[in-house]
Amino acid sequence: MKAMTISYEVGNNLYLNITNQCPCACTFCIRNHADGAYGSDPLWLEHEPSMEEIIADLSARDLDSYSEIVFCGYGEPTCRLDVLLETAQWLRKKLTGSTRLRINTNGLGDLINNRSIADDLCAVIDVISVSLNAGTKDEYMKVTRPKYDNAFEAMQKFTADCVKNGSSEVVMSVVDVIPEEQIMASREIAEKLGATLRVRAFDE
């Protein structure tokens, strides 16, 4: 039986796939099109990996050789906040060079965990990248299809809290398949919240 893909390489970065849970059903999500990302083995997990399994997987890697280690797989990493934080703390002790830790998140971790999580994340993560997805609430709800009615507001509050913490770089991202006016509206939101907007290419 093939081993689960807990970590996978993309360019100079290592990506960590710690959960398949997600409260969104984004129309453009790569999970709708493929079993893996960027040539990785399948990212659907047989079970959620334990800390022991994650550490065993990471211990086989030359961690200092990566530019970034990114919490991003086939799910929302903050659905397993305790494991995410513990893994980040473990990595912090192991890393000796300039490798940065990043999370790609939908920004709904406060709703998922029923509390504000920005300070916990910012204590261990260098770059917080929040999927903004659209520049207006109507478009956001249509594209992201979250299970929470107040997702658009909660995502912005989470982003603002991370900016306010001040210890992490905060980026918001949109995919370049959305109309230009939505990209402009997204840029206004990011600027208002004190984050940088990144427009990323859609990868089939």
Q: Express each pLDDT in 105-162 by its tens digit.
A: 999 999 999 999 999 999 999 999 999 999 999 999 999 999 999 999 999 999 999 9
Q: For residue 129, which amino acid is it?
A: S
Q: In whole angstroms, how far apart are CA 113 and each of 68, 103, 109, 116, 192? A: 26, 16, 6, 8, 25
pTM above 0.85, yes or no: yes
Residue 197 main-chain phi, psi, to 5 deg: -90, 135
Comparing 72-76, 86-90, 177-181, the range with the smallest average pLDDT is 177-181
pLDDT at 2 over 60: no
In the chain the domains, ranked by start, together with CATH numbers, are: 7-200 (3.20.20.70)
pLDDT band at 41 (very low <50, low <70, confident <90, very high): confident
Band of pLDDT at residue 42, cut at 50, 70 and 90 = confident
